[in-house]
Structure 1
Amino acid sequence: MTPPFAAPCRPLVLTFAGSDPSGGAGLQADLMAISSIGCHPLSVTTALTVQDTVGVVGIMPVESEWVEDQARALLEDMPVAAFKIGLLGSIDNVVVIAGILADYPGIPLVLDPVLASGRGDELADKEMIAGLRDLLLPLTTILTPNTFEVRRLSAADDDDQAGDPSLGECAQRLLLLGCEYVLVTGTHANTARVVNSLYGQPGGLLRSDTWDRLPGSYHGSGCTLASALAAHLARGWSVDESVCAAQEYTWQSLAAGFRPGMGQYIPDRFFQWRHYDGTPDG
Structure 2
Amino acid sequence: MPPSSEAPESPPAVMFLNAADPSGAAGLSADQAVCAAVGCHALPVTTSIWVCDTAEVFDIVEIDADSVVEQARAVLQDVELAAWKVGFLGNVEVVSAVAELLADYAQLPLVTYVGNLQALEESQVEEYIKAMQELVLPQTRVLCGNVTALSQFLFPEVEREQPPTPDVLMQQAQSMGVQYLLVSGVLVPENHVENVLLSPRRQLLRERFEMFDAGFSGAGDTLSAAVASLLGTGAKLDQAVHEALEFLDQSLDFAYRPGMGNLVPDRFFWAQTGPEGEGDSISPVGLQ
Q: Residue 200 in 1 paired to residue 204 in 2?
A: no
Q: Deviations over 1:149-203 (max 9, x none)?
A: 221122176x569x9743321221102211110001116x5862111111112x2
Counterpart contact for 2:55–2:262, Cα < 8 Å: yes
User: What's 2:214 paired with?
Assistant: 216
User: What's 1:238 paired with?
Assistant: 236
Q: Which amino acid aligns with 2:7?
A: A
Q: Which amino acid aligns with 1:180?
A: Q
Q: Secondary structure at the match of 2:264?
A: coil
What is the TM-score normalised by the length of structure 1? 0.91
Q: Which amino acid aligns with 2:222?
A: T
Q: Which amino acid aligns with 1:178?
A: G
Identity of aligned residues (%): 33
Q: Residue 34 in 1 paired to residue 35 in 2?
A: yes
Q: Which amino acid aligns with 2:284?
A: P
Q: Distance in 2 between matches of 1:94 and 1:104?
A: 16
Q: Distance in 2 between matches of 1:164 and 1:48?
A: 30
Number of aligned positions between the proteins: 275
- CA drift at 1:4: 4.1
Q: Distance in 2 between matches of 1:64 and 1:164?
A: 33
Q: Secondary structure at the match of 2:59?
A: strand
Counterpart contact for 1:257–1:268, Cα < 8 Å: yes
- CA drift at 1:2: 5.3
1:128–1:156 Cα change, 3 Å: closer
Q: Which amino acid aligns with 2:65?
A: S
- CA drift at 1:86: 0.9
- CA drift at 1:7: 1.9
Q: Secondary structure at the match of 1:46?
A: strand
Q: Distance in 2 between matches of 1:151 and 1:136?
A: 17
Q: Secondary structure at the match of 1:186?
A: strand
Q: Distance in 2 between matches of 1:11 and 1:61?
A: 30
Q: Residue 133 in 1 paired to residue 133 in 2?
A: yes
Counterpart contact for 1:56–1:121, Cα < 8 Å: yes
Structure 2, unaligned stretches of length 5 or more? 274-279
Counterpart contact for 1:151–1:167, Cα < 8 Å: no
**Aligned 1:1-282 pairs, distance under 5 A:** 3-4=4-5, 6-116=7-117, 120-122=118-120, 125-155=125-155, 159=158, 165-186=164-185, 189=187, 192-201=191-200, 203-275=201-273, 276-277=280-281, 280-282=284-286
Counterpart contact for 2:195–2:206, Cα < 8 Å: yes
User: What's 2:277 paired with?
Assistant: none
What is the TM-score normalised by the length of structure 2? 0.89
Q: Which amino acid aligns with 1:30?
A: D
1:12–1:160 Cα change, 3 Å: closer
Counterpart contact for 1:34–1:231, Cα < 8 Å: yes
- CA drift at 1:121: 4.0
Structure 1, unaligned stretches of length 5 or more? none
Q: Deviations over 1:192-224 (max 9, x none)?
A: 2111111112x2322211011122111100000
Q: Which amino acid aligns with 1:146?
A: N
- CA drift at 1:281: 3.5
Q: Distance in 2 between matches of 1:17 and 1:5?
A: 34
1:190–1:125 Cα change, 3 Å: farther
1:215–1:175 Cα change, 3 Å: same
Q: Distance in 2 between matches of 1:131 and 1:277?
A: 44
- CA drift at 1:87: 1.1
Q: Deviations over 1:243-281 (max 9, x none)?
A: 000000011001000011111000000010114447634
- CA drift at 1:138: 0.8
1:165–1:55 Cα change, 3 Å: closer
Q: Which amino acid aligns with 1:175?
A: Q
Q: Secondary structure at the match of 1:185?
A: strand
- CA drift at 1:122: 4.1
